[in-house]
């Protein structure tokens, strides 16, 4: 998972934690492995799960669900932040006020940490995982054939599309793919969705719900 995506996921989870913490005057918020190491290393899948569980324990607005398992049998956690809280995918689909995060969509690739991976990337110094999943597939390119269990699990869970003309939605797009050659911004997808040109395309896809 890219560092930018990890930051967005962490911010979403910590936002839910912070609300509960302010109300309860609870213990300090949990730290990610990156934060705890001074950003010298990235999180393993086990550490991502520990972070998620710590956040869920702090806030009743957070729920940890699952969309299945990876090629190598690791859990594909799905975290829902909602008010009122939800406790199932069905409740999540019916809710109009929620944030859904899959914090580690490629746990097998994430745990293949090596300093040689993405050698031209600026950190973390202890290395990162790889793009390919346990089958050697690029999950970003698997949504047509859906050969990977990760892809099938995500598609089965359903898709929620949030229009980019909402507050902070554009920021989320920029954080996820600020300079990537194949990112949303580079392709102009953000402009298409914002202008409404992409709405019909997304809405026509099977399993997609457009949230106003």
pLDDT tens per residue across span 120-174: 888 888 899 999 999 999 998 888 888 999 999 988 887 655 555 555 555 555 5
Residue with tokens 């993405």: 118
Locate all alpha helices (DSSP H) within the chain, ordered by sequence: 3-24, 33-36, 45-58, 89-94, 107-110, 149-157, 169-176, 184-187, 189-194, 199-204
pLDDT at 211: 45
Distances in Å between the alpha carbon of 155 and those of 67, 99, 163? 9, 17, 19
Q: Tell me the pTM.
A: 0.66
User: CB neighbours of 20 closer than 8 A, spacing ≥ 6?
Assistant: 26, 58, 59, 60, 61
> How far apart (Å, rounded) are the C-alpha atoms in residues 52 and 30?
9
Residue 167's pLDDT is 57
d(CA 116, CA 181): 21
> Domain limits of the chain?
3-133
Mean pLDDT within 176-203: 51
pLDDT at 4 over 50: no
């Amino acid at each position: 998972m890219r560092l930018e995506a990890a930051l967005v996921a962490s911010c979403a989870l910590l936002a839910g934690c912070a609300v509960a913490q302010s109300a309860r005057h609870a213990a300090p918020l949990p730290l990610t492995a990156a934060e705890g190491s001074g950003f010298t290393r990235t999180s393993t899948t086990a550490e991502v799960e520990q972070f998620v569980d710590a956040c869920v324990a702090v806030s009743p607005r957070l729920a940890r669900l699952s969309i299945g398992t990876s090629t190598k049998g690791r859990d594909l956690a799905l975290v829902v932040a909602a008010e009122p809280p939800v406790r199932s995918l069905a409740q999540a689909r019916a809710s109009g006020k929620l944030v859904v995060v899959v914090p580690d969509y490629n746990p097998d690739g994430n745990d293949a940490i090596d300093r040689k991976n993405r050698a031209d990337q600026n950190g973390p110094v202890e290395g990162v995982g790889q793009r390919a999943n346990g089958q050697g597939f690029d999950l970003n390119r698997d949504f047509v054939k859906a050969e990977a269990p990760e892809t099938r699990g995500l598609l089965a869970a359903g898709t929620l599309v949030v229009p980019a003309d909402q507050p902070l939605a554009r920021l989320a797009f920029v954080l996820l793919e600020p300079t990537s050659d194949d990112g949303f911004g580079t392709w102009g997808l953000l402009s298409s969705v914002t202008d409404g040109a992409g709405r019909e395309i997304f809405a026509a896809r099977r399993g997609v719900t457009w949230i106003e």
